[in-house]
Amino acid sequence: MGVYITQPSFNYLQHLVNWHNCVARVFQDEQPPTVSLVQALVNTQWTTRREIKIFKTGIYYIFECMHAMYKEAILHHHTAAFDGKLITFRRCDWLTVLSHLNFTTMRLCIHVSRLPLGFLDAQWA
């Protein structure tokens, strides 16, 4: 009896991925969305001039941008929301070990308004 090996969800040999224009992300959720839902959200809610393809391998989602400018824009914003869930993107290439990427930190911009004057000082900023 041999060793049982599970087939990967995405076969990289059947599809040539342009890894120079890819970013990776993982949903920190027990019920991550399907690839088709993520693809539909990207197609309908993101402003792009060219296509972004979504692939999934294990728990990781690969966003293949058809233009390097979109990859850099995604990485610049660093954090986005999908269906009410915050997500973080990381740079990857074909040599990246996805499990070594740190998805636990993210940058957020928070707008606070209507604070009492007593809280408007450098210590609270």
Task: For residues 108 and 106, give the distance between their C-alpha atoms in angstroms, rounded to a whole number.
Answer: 6
Domain 1-125 fold is Alpha-Beta Plaits (3.30.70)
Q: Could you tell me which of 94, 89, 91 has the C-alpha nearest to residue 42?
A: 89
Q: Could you tell me which of 50, 115, 44 has the C-alpha nearest to residue 124?
A: 115
What are the sequence ranges of the domains in the chain? 1-125
In one-letter notation, the amino acid at residue 49 is R
Per-residue pLDDT of the chain (125 residues; tens, 9 = 90+): 556 655 555 555 446 788 888 898 888 777 888 889 888 888 888 776 678 899 888 888 999 988 888 888 888 776 777 777 777 888 888 888 888 888 887 777 777 778 777 777 777 65
pLDDT, residue 13, reads: 46
pLDDT, residue 107, reads: 72
Task: For residues 88 and 78, give the distance between their C-alpha atoms in angstroms, rounded to a whole number.
Answer: 6
Task: For residues 76 and 40, give the distance between their C-alpha atoms in angstroms, rounded to a whole number.
Answer: 22
pLDDT, residue 57, reads: 86
